[in-house]
Amino acid sequence: MKRLIAILAAMLIAAQAQAQGLIRDAEIEATLETLLDPLVAAAGLPRGSVDVYIVNDREMNAFVTPGNNMFIHAGLVQRLDSADMLQAVMAHELGHIVSGHIAQRTVQGASAQRGSIAGLLLGIAVTAAGAPEAGIAIAHGSQGVARRGALAFSRGQEAGADQSSLTILERAGIDPGAALRTLGLFRGQELLSSAQLDPYTLTHPLSSQRYELLERRADNSALRGRPVPPALAEAYARMQAKFDGFLRAPSSAIARVEGRQDMAARIQRAIGLHRLPSPQQSIAEIDAAIAIEPNNPWLHELKGQFLYESGNAAAAVPSYRRALQLAPGAALVRAGLGQSLLALNQDAATREALGHLSAARDEVAG
């Protein structure tokens, strides 16, 4: 039993560390699903048939691999100003899937390219099988594939995915102009040297003609200028706040929200304070947020994380319990509770921890 507990604990510690690989966060994953689900339906694909992953990388990039796996770099989310811009990227990647471009690229690609893609998929498979520490390492080793352009599509395939993406966006009721705003970030990079290009430009070759074709169609859409629903805009802002809070230098993350009291700013400031570290101030900030939204599971989870990482597992347990009560299906929250209970080093708590950790592993694997 002790051996099993040790294995489960090591699994969770490795998963949290991420090894500079994939980012796992219950709230972020819920937001990504909310963004992706209507696009998958609009593309005519079965619900849940596409998995999306966030790569812990500050560069701007996104790509898909065989098996309907979509990878989005954290840096891209940090740079995109609105939820529909990220949805435009997702729709474009879905365009590659529904057009069969992945199969075409796999057939045409060199063996080294196929090996790198297989490494990413193997990492996911190993993680899903219950060994995320190995899976993350494998996936991380394959990230260079995208940077080297091995996942790049041809200009013709990119143009085809553009047209498919606009169809998907319109069917989902989303402003196709979001695609133009996204591509506008990369326009003009063709004149730069490869060392100066954003990886997204290398893997998604952009031409002026391609942009103009998109512009003409988007301008003629009845959905042009449609705003993002407020609830989705808020969820996206909070996701960005987490990325900025955890990935930027703490002082920079705090300075960027100075004087703001909206929830996204509170979350970012609390994370920045936690990472300084300034434990009392970070808990005070997250408690103020919880006072505003007492039934928000992700705020309670964040407080539990702060307390656990500050060495106060006993105080973290009630926060994780409340989070799990509010979001009973969140495997990562359950894992956090199990890990906090395990840290108490008490027989009863250890037995309960084993139950939570086993359940969390099964939920992730399932």
Read off the pLDDT of residues 120-164 as tens digits, 9 standing for 90 and up: 554 555 454 445 544 544 444 544 444 444 445 677 788 888 899
Asked if 205 and 287 sit in the same domain, the reply is no
Beta carbons within 8 Å of 85's beta carbon, 6+ residues apart: 178, 181, 182
Higher pLDDT, 5 or 23: 23
Residues 210 and 239 grouped into a single domain: no
Name the maximum alpha-carbon separation found in the chain. Answer: 67
Please give the pLDDT value at position 143.
Answer: 46
Let me know whether 313 and 185 are in one domain.
Answer: no
pLDDT at 65: 87
Q: What is the pLDDT of residues 162-179, one digit of tens each?
A: 899 999 999 999 999 999
Angle formed at CA 130 by CA 125 and CA 133, multiple of 5 degrees? 85
> How many domains are there within the chain?
2
What proportion of the chain, given as a percentage, has pLDDT over 70? 74
Q: Where a domain ends, among 163, 196, 219?
A: 219
**Beta carbons of 350 and 5 less than 8 angstroms apart:** yes
Give the domain range for residue 335. 230-365
Q: What is the pLDDT of residue 346?
A: 97
Q: What is the pLDDT of residue 295?
A: 98
Same domain, yes or no: 361 and 320 = yes
Contacts of 106 (CB under 8 A, 6+ apart): 66, 114, 117
More confident residue, 333 or 13: 333
- What confidence category does residue 105 fall into, taking pLDDT thresholds of 50, 70 and 90? low
Strand order in 51-55's β-sheet? 22-23, 51-55, 69-73, 62-65
